[in-house]
Amino acid sequence: MTDDWRTVNLANWESRVPMHTGPGGYDLASFDDPEYLSGVVSYDLPRLGRLDGLDVVHLQCHIGTDTVSLARLGAKSVTGLDFSPSAVEAGRALATRAGNDVTFVEADVAGAVDALGAECADVVYTGIGALCWLPDIREWAGVVAALLRPGGRLFVREGHPILWAMSDPRPDGLLVVEYPYFETPGTRFVYEDTYAGTGVVSSPESISFNHGLGEIFTALLEAGFTITGFEEHRELAWNFFDDAMIESPDFDGEFVLVEGGERLPLTYTLQAVKGPGH
């Protein structure tokens, strides 16, 4: 494992928060409308469904736009967890602005059980662009299992591991696999911009970790889950391939390939239920 991954990634995400909450960043003003849901949760809603009366934990919640949206689906309680103190502060400010009762906790995923308590949740939600920041998918599956009550549900929509393995767009339009598909000690990247907001990221280096579908499924099965749903999608919540992508005509806030969208899946939705005795 790349030893400094946490230090590097924390600095990177801390430097993104003012960009994501500033001009051109996340659409925070729309939360003044009590019916508004983030684009991510709106996309997930047909599969996620209502959360009436349930205790929900959102891991790696960033600045809370999806977390607040989950609270608007009738949940009994919603807790967002993130390792970035600036993101947690921004999430609390958004919840206050939006008028939704959401708890935000600063902690790593690895420390989530210590921070929140064992078997505290009926649903664990992990949003898009999260698993790629975790070095050990088996550890993640164990944490999720420990957070959920027996019969509890995991809901994940994530960037597809084949997407994370792709290179930047080529002039000839070819999509090329350049980076690892399977879990490795980590890959370093340097990007001075981010997917939302304007300006330059002050800590542009990051370290990410891919996890193949087989590794993810195996980790969940070993942790006592039953897989209840899996679907691959042509849509992605940000523009990954620059001019090779356009806004989706079918889903607000999502992007699709201009040509050949059937060439590869961009995201997937995975659902699983924790079995008894785990």
List, for residues 230-251, the tens digit of each pLDDT value. 999 999 999 999 888 999 999 9
Q: How far apart are CA 154 and CA 178, in angstroms?
A: 30
Residue with tokens 């002039």: 171
Helices (runs of H) and strands (runs of E) counted in the chain: 8, 11
Residue of 100, 93, 94, 96 whose CA lies nearest to 78: 100
Instruction: Give the total number of structural domains in the chain.
Output: 1
pTM of the predicted model as reported, rounded to 2 decimal places = 0.96
Residue ranges making up the domain that contains 75 = 5-274
Q: How far apart are CA 143 and CA 8, in angstroms?
A: 23
CATH number of residue 143's parent domain: 3.40.50.150
What would the DSSP string read from start to end of 65-132? HHHHHHHTTT-SEEEEEES-HHHHHHHHHHHHHHT---EEEE--GGGHHHHH-TT-EEEEEE-TT-GG
pLDDT tens digits for the chain (278 residues)? Answer: 578 999 999 999 999 999 999 999 999 999 999 999 999 999 999 999 999 999 999 999 999 999 999 999 999 999 999 999 999 999 999 999 999 999 999 999 999 999 999 999 999 999 899 999 999 999 999 999 999 999 999 999 999 999 999 988 777 878 899 999 999 999 999 999 898 888 889 999 999 999 999 999 999 999 999 999 999 999 999 999 988 899 999 999 999 999 889 989 999 999 999 998 76
